[in-house]
Amino acid sequence: MKFPQKPNLFVFLALLAFFSVLQTSQQASEENTGGTTAKKWLLLLYDDADFFNGYDPLLDFAREAYAHENLDVLVLEDSADSAALIWQIGSAHQLIPLKMLDEINMADGGTLEYFLRYARKKFPDRSVILCFYDHGGGTWGACVDDTNDPTDILSLDEIQQALMKTGKVDLVCFTAPCLMGAIEAVYELRHLTDAYVGSENLSGYIYWFETIRYLCNILQTMPEISTETLADLLVKATRDYGYQNISPRGATGYTMSAIRTSALAPAVAAIRNLSTNMLQNPGTAFQVLDQALATGWRYSLESPRYLDAIDVFNRAAGLSSDAEMRGLFQRAAAAIQETVIRSENGSAMTGINGLNIYLPIPGQCRLSPAYGSTGIDFSLDSSWASLLKAYHNWRPSPQSHDSLLPIAEGNGLFPPPEMGKSRWIKWETDQEKSTQGKIPREK
């Protein structure tokens, strides 16, 4: 057999034409898809309905949530009267049971860590939205578990530790817990999420009605959406849907905000500068703070413990006759404002701007010694714990410090009524916490 010494011209031209068509097809495909496949998302709900007379949002969540080509959905559900389960929600809103668990403690960080590890193993390499349901206590955390210990709560430090062990998520949403629009809570997760959504004041799952469906729709049509834009749209949706469909009583106390974590470091630095200056000039500084607090807290149904940080600092700036101190108050307020992507509020919440701060008013509320003692990064990094201690020593209360902290208690669906029932939550050190026997076991 003889082999040609020169390439066959016809074959060469045919191959050239084939590769030209293939390259054109690839270029067209890349133009249509941006050169990459669509972003994949994972929506997680930490559904802690294990409290007395509590509403369980699972069915309402499934009625709106659905999986699609860009999204999968998982729920860890624990209620007071049934076994804990991990559910998957399908493309037609169907509930698919994946794992039945022994009795679990939703107020323990080991349970959250277990759920996050399970979710990431089943759906790796996803952008993650992590939602929490139950009571909230702002500075102190969220999620109680009556079956195990009704005075225990999933602390901010435990949430932080669970995410540090399992990996950063893109967005954290507190879909019902009260008071979670707290600078302490957002700062605790500053390296572990890009954006954060929560209510500065009282809250309920009803604010999220139709917002979950809206979220799934967005990720189906705009999977490449930025996390900050998504957080912005979700807060707007709680206003457009949930807020518009509840009673006037509940609507007046509505607040919801979206926060960018990348702007927290300058805000905390500005608060630290303010705290340091106030500690050097306590007499003048605390008199100004007294005057600011005389009227600046009345918008909040949960006052006098948790106040809007921007509102208080701006009020104090307007009352200060010292130019340096006035500037420090103004810069702290402006720096906190830079963290706010969007803030919405009801008719009675005119002083709401996006983030509350723990600021118990002397004579009306006692200071907890737990603030600054363990697990709350903001309290130390901002010198806010030192400032509060000095302020309360300057104007002492006739009563002892709070050893337990109250959180507003409702059924979880609607916001708790003003001046309604509270439960008292203990604050434990890391050494007192134990996950022995509490991490879920599969059945």
Largest CA distance in the chain: 110
What CATH architecture applies to the domain 41-264? 3-Layer(aba) Sandwich (3.40)
Q: Where do the structural domains in the chain lie, given as residue ranges?
A: 41-264, 266-339+356-402
pLDDT tens, per residue, the chain with 443 residues: 333 344 443 333 343 344 343 344 444 433 444 445 789 999 999 999 999 889 999 999 999 999 999 999 999 999 988 889 999 999 999 999 999 998 899 999 999 999 999 999 999 999 999 999 999 999 999 999 999 999 999 999 999 999 999 999 999 999 999 999 999 999 999 999 999 999 998 899 999 999 999 999 999 999 999 999 999 999 999 999 988 777 565 567 789 999 999 999 999 999 999 999 999 999 999 999 999 998 766 555 555 789 999 999 999 999 999 999 999 999 999 999 999 999 998 877 878 899 999 999 888 888 888 898 778 999 999 999 999 999 999 987 666 666 778 888 889 998 887 657 888 888 765 445 544 445 666 66
What was the pLDDT predicted at 365? 83
What is the length of the chain?
443
